[in-house]
Structure 1
Amino acid sequence: MNQFSELGLSQPIVDAIAEMGFEEPTPIQRQVIPKLLEEETDVVGLAQTGTGKTAAFGLPLIELVEESELYPQALVLAPTRELCLQVSNELAAFGKKIKQLRITAVYGGTDISRQIKELRRGTHIVVATPGRLRDLINRKAVDLSKLSFLVLDEADEMLNMGFKEEIDEILENTPEDKLTWLFSATMPPEVRRIANDYMLDPLEVSAGKPNTSNANIDHQYVMVRRHQKYDVLRRFLDYDPDCFALVFTRTRRDAHELAEQLVKDGYHADSLHGDMSQAQRDHVMQRFRDQRLQILVATDVAARGIDVQEISHVFHYNIPDDLAFYTHRSGRTGRAGNEGISLVIANPKDRGLLRNVERRLKIDFSEAHIPTGEAICARRLLHEVRNLKEIPVQESLETYVPGVSEELESLSREDLIRKITALTFRGSLKEYLNAPDLNQKGGSSGRDRQDRRTGGPMERLFINVGQIDLKSKGDFLRMICDEAQITGSVIGRIDFRAKHTFFDVETDVAETVIQRLGEIELDGRSIRVNRDGGGKFGGKKGGKGKRHGGFKKKSSRGRSYA
C-alpha cells in the first residue's frame, strides 16, 4: 500500500506519486503535508536539501488550488533557474492526472515575451526566480492580487545570493491574507526576519536540527599539502569507478582551471561558474544530469539549486568561508534516501576551520585514507574484468572464434590472465604502479621517504623557478646539478610547474642544495629554495621570470640554462 494515501491526499495525486516510484513519505513530508492540508496556517519547514521538501509543499499546493479558477493562486519562489525548472517539473509530475492544472515557470536568461504570453493565457501555480518575477511585476505582466499561497523554497540560499530586496518587493505585492510556507535548510537571522515580518504565528516543523547536515552523508577529510590537492582528488576519483562527483572551488578561475586539467587527464569533466552564459550553464547541467559528465567543478553560487539524485561524492577543494555554504555543498549528495560522501581536501592550516565546521554544524568528521596506487590498481583491474564478463557476445562473431582460439591455444590460463592484466595496465593505471603512499605523516610532505630511483632517503624541496624560466626538466636538472655541485643520481622526482618546481633530493645533500641555490639570481630576482610547506608558492613580488634569462651568483656572473 502506498503510504502517501494516509496523508490525506486525493487518489489522482496518490496514483501519480505511485507511478513516479514513491511509496513512503520522508520525515518532512510526513510532518508537513497533513498540516498544510488540514490547517490554514503559515509554516516554517526546516530540513536539509534532498529530503523531499518539494513534495512536502508541492503536493498540498496541487491539492488546494481550484482548477476552475484560472489565475495565479500559488507562487513558489526559488533562488536559481535550475531549481525553478526542477520544482516546476516535479509539480507537473505530481499533478499529471489533473488535466486542467496549469503550472508556469518564469526565470531569467530566456525570452521574457514568451513567458508573458504564457501568463496571460492563465495559470494556477507560478514558479519563479526573484529577479525575473520582479521584472514581470514592474511590467504588470503578472497579477498576484488573488494569491492564496506563497512558498519560499531554499529561503536561505535566496538571501545568500543577495535577493533580499527582490523578496521584500515581491511580498509587498501579495495579499496579506495569503498563507506563507517557508522552507529552508538553515535558519540564519535574515530568514528569521522574513518569518517575523511577513508571517503570522507560523507553525515551525523541523526534520532534523537546523544548521546541521543530512544523516545520510558521511563527512570525511584528508590533510595534505597544498600542492598535493589535485593528485589526491584524482586518487579518490580513480579508486571508485562509479564515482559521480561534484567538486566545489572558491573562485571561478579555480573552477575553470581545475576542470580543464581534469579533461586533459582524461576525465569527463566540465565547470559551472558565473562567467558562463545561461545557454552554456544549461548545456553543462544537462550533460551532468544525463551523466555524460562524471565530474562537475563549480563555485558555490553557480551550483545553487543543483538537484541530481545520483551524486555519490561532494569534494571540497577548499573549506568555505561561510559555514552555511558547507551545508548546501554537502547537501548535493545523500539525497532521496541515498548515501553520499562529503570529503574536504584540507591542508594543515585548515585545522581550525575544520574544527569550527564540526562544532558549529554538529558534524563528526572522520579522516579518510587516501587510496594507494596499489589499491587503485587492484580495484580498477577487478572492475575492468567484471565489465569484460558482462560484455554480450553477438552470434555473428561466432565465425571468428575458432581462429582466435587457435591463435591463443599456446597460452596457458595463467598466461592469458597475465596478458589481460598487462593490457589493462597499458592505460591510465600505469602511473599508479609503484606510486608513493600519500598517507604519510605530516601530510605526505615527502620528507625522509625512500625514493625508488635513487634508493636513499629523500626530502622534497620547493624552488621558485619553473617553466617560464626554463624550457624543460632537462634544463632544470642541469641547473640544479651545476649550481648545487651535485650529481643527477641524488635527485629524484621533479614536479616541473609553470612558476615553481618541487623536486626530491637525498637527505644528505638537501641542506647543501638549499644553501647553494639560495645564492643565485635570475634576472635580478632572488631564487628561493625551502623544504616543502615552508612558504607560499611562486617567486618574490617583482620577479621578471623571463624564459631565456640567465642564472648567476649574487656576487659573480653565472651560466645560462635556457
Structure 2
Amino acid sequence: MTTFDALGLDARLVQATDALGYKNPTPIQEQAIPVLLSGTKDLVGLAQTGTGKTAAFGLPLLHLVEEKQRHPQALVVCPTRELCLQIVTELEGFKKFLPQMYVAAVYGGASIGQQIRELKRGVQIVVATPGRLIDLIERKAINLEEIKYVVLDEADEMLNMGFKDDIEFILQNTPNREATWLFSATMPPEIKRVSKRYMKEPFEITVGKVNTANKNIDHQYYVTSAQHRYQALKRLIDFNPGIYGIIFTRTKADAQEIAEKLTREGYDIDALHGDLTQQQRDKVMGEFREKTLQLLIATDVAARGIDVKDITHVINYELPDDVEVYTHRSGRTGRAGNTGICMSIVHVRETGKMRQIQSIVQAPFHKLEIPSGKDVCRKQFYHFMDKLLQTDISHGDYETYVPMLEEKFADMTKEEVLKRVAAMEFDRFLKYYENAEDLNVRPDARRERTLDRGQDRGRFERNGDRNARRDTRGREFGGGGDYARLFVNLGTKDGFYKASFLQFILDMSDLRKDVLGRIDMKEMNSWIEIDKRAAQQMIRAIDGKNYKGRRIRMNDADSRR
C-alpha cells in the first residue's frame, strides 16, 4: 500500500500527515500528488466531495511554493466562505512543520480591511471566493503577477452559481501562472470549455465514474402524493431516530416554512437560506457542526461548500431539476469511507425523473414503503430501549438514591414502572401516530416492474415531462392553466444555466416551482411562463433589483409587445 513518503513530498509534510493520523493517501491523492509535484503540469481532477481533494492539491502547493518569498505564489479559488475556511484549516494542519509558510483566507461577509492587512504582512498561499478576490484585484490590494499556481476547487459548483465570468477574469489576471489545477465532482460542458481555453494539454484523473454518485451511499425513494409530502418527511425523520442530516428544498420559502413547522413540533432543526446574514449563517452552521441541531434544512444555493463530517442522511424534500445537483446533494453523506443514506420524497408524477436520475447516477435505487405509524412507534421504542440500556451510570452517586427509589416504587411491579417511563417519553408521540394514515401511493404493477428494471426511460422522455414541450405562450400548459409570459434581461451570458436560473428566480420571489411553465433562455435575455396569479409577485420581487452591478428588468412580455 502506498504511503505519503513514497509520493515524493517534503519530509516535513510527511511528518505533518503522520501527526494528523493520515497513513495512506486516498486514490485521488495517490494519483494527483506525483503529477502536481512537477509544478508545470495542468491537471483536471474529477472526484466526488469527501475523497480528499484538499490534500491532493494542498500538499503539492506547500511543497512547491518558496517559504522565503513572502508574496502570493499560489491561489486557490472556491465557491463559498465555508469551503474557503475549511481549505485554510486543512492547509494549516499540513504546514505544521513549515513555520515560515503563511496562508490567508479571502472571502465576503468579513472585514475587507483586516484581509488587506493580512495580505500586506506577506503570505505565500491565498484561498479566496471569487467575489471578494475580484474586489481586492480592482482595489489593487492584491498582486497576482507572481502567482505560479492556480487551483479551481469545486469548479462545477462555481459555474452553477454563476461565477463563469469571475473565473475567467481571475485567470486573465494571473498571466504568469505555470500550472492550473481544476478539481470538480462532475464534468459539465462549461468545465470542458474552461479547461480547453485556459489549460494546456491537462493531465486528467478520474476517481470513480464522472457524474456518478458515491458507492457508499444507499439511494432510497418514497412515493407519496403532493399534499402528504410534509407528513412523509416527518415520518421518515421519526423512523430514523439517530438521524443527523440535511434536508434539501428548492426554495428558501420552503426551507423556512418547514423549519418553523418542525421546530414547533419539537425537532432540533434550523434553516439555511439566502436571506440569512453572514452572522446568522455562521450561528446556524456552528450549532449544526456541534450537533446542537440534529437537522439542517437548506436550499442548494445556500448549502454550497458545506462540509460537515458524519452526516448520516440527506433527504430530498423535492427532487432537483438537474441530475448534477442530485449528485452534489447526495455527496454530503457517505464521505471519507463512511456509509450514508440519501432519501427522496417523490410525487407520483416524478417517478419518470427518478428513473432518469437513476440511469445517469449509475447506482442502484431502492423504492421503499413510507413506514406506517406502528412501524415508527416500534422503531422509536427500540431506540429508546437501547439508549436506556447504554446509559452510563458509573459517574454519579446513584447508590445513595437506590434505597429511596426502591421504597417509592415498592408497591409497583417492574412492568408498571416501565410503562410509566415509556408514557413519559412517548405519550404525545403515540397519540400522533395512533391512527396515522397510509402515505404511500401505489402505482399499478406493470409500471412498478418497469421502474424497478429501469426500462421505462423512453416513455418518460416522450410523456413524463410533456408540459415542457407545450406551446410557449402557455396554451394547454399544465392541464389548461392560465399563464402569463414574462420577459427578463438575464440570460446565459450572465453565467446562468437553466437550473441555476430557476433557483435564482424562485429564491428572489419566494414562489414555488409549480407556478412556472416553460423557461426559454437566450444569451442576453429569457422568457418565463408563469401562472397569471403569481406573475405580479415575481415582477415586484425581481424588477429593478441588481445582479452583478446590472439592473434587472422584468415585465409582462405580451404587454411589452
1:287 aligns with 2:287: yes
- The Cα of 1:397 is off from its aligned counterpart by 3.9
Aligned AA for 1:435?
A
- The Cα of 1:409 is off from its aligned counterpart by 2.4
Counterpart of 1:144 in 2: which secondary structure? coil
1:174 aligns with 2:180: no
CA–CA distance in structure 2, aligned partners of residues 72 and 109 of structure 1: 22
1:82 aligns with 82
Counterpart of 2:350 in 1: which secondary structure? helix
Aligned AA for 1:328?
H
- The Cα of 1:424 is off from its aligned counterpart by 2.8
Taking the TM superposition and a 5 Å limit, the aligned residue runs for 1:57-96 are 57-96=57-96
2:411 aligns with 410
Of the structure 1 ranges 126-135 and 283-292, higher mean CA displacement relative to structure 2 is found in 283-292
1:399 aligns with 400
Q: List per-residue Cα deviations over 1:299-325 (Å, max 9, x = no partner).
A: 111100000121111111111112211
Aligned AA for 1:14?
V
CA–CA distance in structure 1, aligned partners of residues 8 and 239 of structure 2: 46
Counterpart of 2:247 in 1: which secondary structure? strand
1:233 aligns with 233
Larger RCO, structures 1/2 (Cα 8 Å, 6+ apart) = 2
- The Cα of 1:361 is off from its aligned counterpart by 2.6
Tell whether the 8 Å contact from 2:102 to 2:124 is kept in structure 1 after alignment.
Answer: yes
- The Cα of 1:413 is off from its aligned counterpart by 3.0
Q: List per-residue Cα deviations over 1:357-410 (Å, max 9, x = no partner).
A: 122232321112322222222222222223223142555443332121022222
2:44 aligns with 44
1:105 aligns with 2:105: yes
CA–CA distance in structure 2, aligned partners of residues 298 and 416 of structure 1: 42
Taking the TM superposition and a 5 Å limit, the aligned residue runs for 1:261-276 are 261-276=261-276
1:485 aligns with none
1:375 aligns with 375
- The Cα of 1:287 is off from its aligned counterpart by 1.1
Counterpart of 2:99 in 1: which secondary structure? coil
Return 5+ residue gaps in structure 2 as ranges: 445-513, 516-530, 534-561
- The Cα of 1:2 is off from its aligned counterpart by 8.5
CA–CA distance in structure 2, aligned partners of residues 368 and 95 of structure 1: 47
Taking the TM superposition and a 5 Å limit, the aligned residue runs for 1:280-319 are 280-319=280-319
Q: List per-residue Cα deviations over 1:256-298 (Å, max 9, x = no partner).
A: 1011111011111111111111111111111111111111111
CA–CA distance in structure 2, aligned partners of residues 251 and 237 of structure 1: 20
Tell whether the 8 Å contact from 1:78 to 1:158 is kept in structure 2 after alignment.
Answer: yes
Aligned AA for 2:400?
T
Which structure has the larger Rg? 1
- The Cα of 1:212 is off from its aligned counterpart by 1.3
Counterpart of 1:79 in 2: which secondary structure? coil
Counterpart of 1:126 in 2: which secondary structure? strand
- The Cα of 1:15 is off from its aligned counterpart by 2.7
CA–CA distance in structure 1, aligned partners of residues 143 and 292 of structure 2: 41
CA-based RMSD of the aligned residues comes to: 2.1
Normalised to the residue count of structure 2, the TM-score between the two structures is: 0.76
Aligned AA for 1:63?
H
Tell whether the 8 Å contact from 1:236 to 1:371 is kept in structure 2 after alignment.
Answer: yes
Aligned AA for 2:58?
G
Of the structure 1 ranges 58-67 and 113-122, higher mean CA displacement relative to structure 2 is found in 58-67
- The Cα of 1:36 is off from its aligned counterpart by 1.1
2:437 aligns with 436
Return 5+ residue gaps in structure 1 as ranges: 444-534, 543-562
Tell whether the 8 Å contact from 2:235 to 2:376 is kept in structure 1 after alignment.
Answer: yes
CA–CA distance in structure 2, aligned partners of residues 209 and 93 of structure 1: 30
Normalised to the residue count of structure 1, the TM-score between the two structures is: 0.76
Q: List per-residue Cα deviations over 1:313-361 (Å, max 9, x = no partner).
A: 1111111112211111111111111111111101011012111112223
CA–CA distance in structure 2, aligned partners of residues 377 and 2 of structure 1: 48
Tell whether the 8 Å contact from 1:2 to 1:23 is kept in structure 2 after alignment.
Answer: no
Distance 1:333 1:394, change over 3 A: closer
Counterpart of 2:427 in 1: which secondary structure? coil
Structure in which a larger fraction of residues adopt helix: 2
CA–CA distance in structure 1, aligned partners of residues 261 and 18 of structure 2: 44
Distance 1:196 1:436, change over 3 A: same
Length, aligned pairs only: 448
CA–CA distance in structure 2, aligned partners of residues 2 and 289 of structure 1: 32
Counterpart of 2:115 in 1: which secondary structure? helix
1:254 aligns with 2:254: yes
Distance 1:262 1:21, change over 3 A: farther
Counterpart of 2:91 in 1: which secondary structure? helix
Tell whether the 8 Å contact from 1:381 to 1:424 is kept in structure 2 after alignment.
Answer: no
Q: List per-residue Cα deviations over 1:50-100 (Å, max 9, x = no partner).
A: 111111111111111111111111100001111111111111111122111
Taking the TM superposition and a 5 Å limit, the aligned residue runs for 1:487-526 are none
1:462 aligns with none
